[in-house]
A and B are shown apart, each in its own frame.
Chain A
Amino acid sequence: MSFGFFLLAFAAAANPCRASLALPQRRSAVALGALLAAAVCAAVAVSGSVVLDALDVSPESFRLAAGLVLGLEGARALLSPRPPSEPELPGLGAALVPVAFPLLLQPGVVMLALAAGADDVAGRAVGALCVAFAVVVLAGAVRVDERGEALFAAGARLVGALEVGLGVALGVDALRDV
């Protein structure tokens, strides 16, 4: 899996357009939450091989599962472009809930990080992930009116469609792999 693929896949899984519709107003909380989520994903990626070994799952089979999750997640974004409103922890606690979890640490993001670790490309994946999360932070910083929110929702659907496509590509690649 190339850096370009990871970049697209992490960006699609984090879905900046969709996430920005539910991110808190405080930019510091959003930035801190992105850092937290990136750290968690880096840890997950680094331990990918160990985790999959412990689960007795081959990297190829896990990639198939990751593709499936991306596909389902993309379909969810297509059908429901606005995330449900989550209760916020007070102050900088919002960095943890809802920014890091559940908005950024989407199942697809975590699965991709694990798959990358199992394929010994954790560094590449973490680099791409940081760029994708930076895009989410930037999208969250944009202040929009009602019309802008409708545009973001439309964008969320488009990114969801991209995520479906990337999930299929990942799954097919896993099916054809040894």
Chain B
Amino acid sequence: MLGAAALRLAVVPAEVCPPLEVGALRTSIEEAAGWLERGVRDDGRYTYGYQRERDLISRDYNVTRHAGVMLSLYQLAARTGDDEALAAGEHGLRFLRANLVRRGDWAAVAEPGRDARVGASALAVAALVHRRLATGDRDADDLTRALARFLVAQQQPDGSVLGVWSGRTGRPVPGEYSKFGTGEALWALALVDRLFPGEGWDRPALRLARYVATRRDDVEGYVLTFPDHWAAYGLAELGPSVLGEAEISYARRLAGAFGLMSRLEAQSGTSGLRRLFRGEPASGAGLGTIGEGVAALWRLSLVDPQLADLSGDLAERLRCRAARTVERQADAAESSSWPRPDLIRGAWFSEDDYTQMDDQQHALSALLATLPLLEGARTS
């Protein structure tokens, strides 16, 4: 009995997945977007972070996260036609345009005097593709292509993408990879190929996909499969017609990694034995990235027969992830007890009472990606 109790507490605590209705999901999406939209500043930046206990707005900033927030806002605008999200994305685009470095035929996102990082440019590409989907405007097509050309310029003969371009030397920094930039570049190139078919973007995208699927973990030093939600986005965007055995096998490994993370997260809690055995609950960004990865692979499993056997489990994990994400969000009632409710409402706070733009960004994207699942369940 003692053994069974220990097993229950430490190994298999209950996985708590609250019920979730599509209405609550939509409200949560609006609230998350509202936090980002209210944070738009005159210079086109967004509120970076907020510590509610000390009522302190962070002075830090990060252009990669800026591009990520733009992406989520444009994703929302493209999916729902949300004008406020579009307007907030457009403000962010002003800042982005003012922070470009151009060499030859490419452009990269970099603050003045700083090196250019692949992740920022890749997310900018993803954001601009979603902007195009939302508005139909072609005015940023040239910029989209120029940014994508930077990603290709960073690509190495083995398909990998170097993470940094040095402003000092005017060259990519050899041997320096970006933890998330590689997957972000994969998704960006896949998106550009979808937007501009026949322009040859598929070749670097597929080379990068093969590298990620077969060599990235070894080359970049990951002992286990690195749970890269951006790579999952990339595979889903490339689609089943071009994915080979290696990529499908990688997609399965990714699904396993996200499935495990999802189950462990569902076993966690903010207090008591759950807190003791599972540690600090995931941040908004943590909840969101797992959800984004699961959602991308779920979409792929619906169209790729080789992954069809995973779709039921992925859908279950996605629903649970979304429900737990919605449950953890600060609502209007909770925010009213703090000095600045506008910086509380719609956000996800960690145990140290801090929230950062990427908490809302990833959670928003993940919840948005869950909408089709819940809408499908409602109509079926």
Partner-B contacts on A (CB < 8 A): 55-58, 60-62, 64-65, 68-69, 107, 175-178
Contacts and interface: CB of A to CB of B under 8 A. Distances in A.
Which 6 A/B pairs are nearest by Cβ-Cβ distance? A178-B259, A56-B14, A176-B256, A178-B313, A65-B11, A65-B12
A61 B263 contact: yes
Contacts of A57: 12, 14-15
Given A65-B7, A107-B3, A178-B317, A55 B260 contact: no
B353 to A, nearest CB: 29
Contacts of A107: 3-4
A64 B259 contact: no
By secondary structure, the A interface counts as helix
Nearest to B14: A56
Nearest to A178: B259
Given A60-B259, A61-B267, A65-B7, A176 B14 contact: no
Interface of B: 3-4, 7-8, 11-12, 14-17, 253, 255-260, 263, 267, 310, 313-314, 317
Nearest to A69: B7
B192 to A, nearest CB: 30
By secondary structure, the B interface counts as helix
Given A57-B14, A177-B313, A178-B313, 6 more contacts: A57-B12, A64-B11, A69-B7, A107-B3, A176-B257, A177-B260
Nearest to A56: B14
A56 B15 contact: yes
A65 B264 CA distance: 13
A129 to B, nearest CB: 20
B85 to A, nearest CB: 31
Contact of B256 (A58, A68, A69, A178): A178
Contacts of B310: 178
Given A60-B263, A61-B267, A69-B7, A175 B16 contact: no
B263 A176 contact: no
Contact of A55 (B12, B256, B259): B12
A90 to B, nearest CB: 26
A62 B259 contact: no
Nearest to A175: B260
Given A178-B259, A178-B313, A61 B253 contact: no
A57 B257 CA distance: 18
A58 B14 contact: no
B256 A61 contact: no
A58 B14 CA distance: 9
Contacts of B259: 60, 177-178
A170 to B, nearest CB: 13
B253 A58 contact: no
A64 B7 CA distance: 11
A121 to B, nearest CB: 15
Nearest to A110: B4
B342 to A, nearest CB: 36
Given A175-B260, A178-B256, A178-B313, A55 B3 contact: no
Contacts of B3: 69, 107
A68 B11 CA distance: 9
Nearest to B225: A176
11 contacts: A55-B8, A55-B14, A56-B15, A56-B17, A61-B15, A61-B267, A62-B12, A177-B260, A178-B256, A178-B258, A178-B314
A58 B15 contact: yes
- Considering residues A57, A60, A61, which has the most beta carbons from chain B within 10 angstroms of its beta carbon? A61
Contacts of A58: 15, 263
A112 to B, nearest CB: 14
Nearest to A173: B256
A61 B7 CA distance: 11
Nearest to B267: A61
B114 to A, nearest CB: 39
A83 B12 CA distance: 28
A176 B11 CA distance: 16
Contacts of A177: 256, 259-260, 313
Given A56-B16, A61-B15, A61-B267, A176 B253 contact: yes
B267 A178 contact: no
A178 B258 CA distance: 7
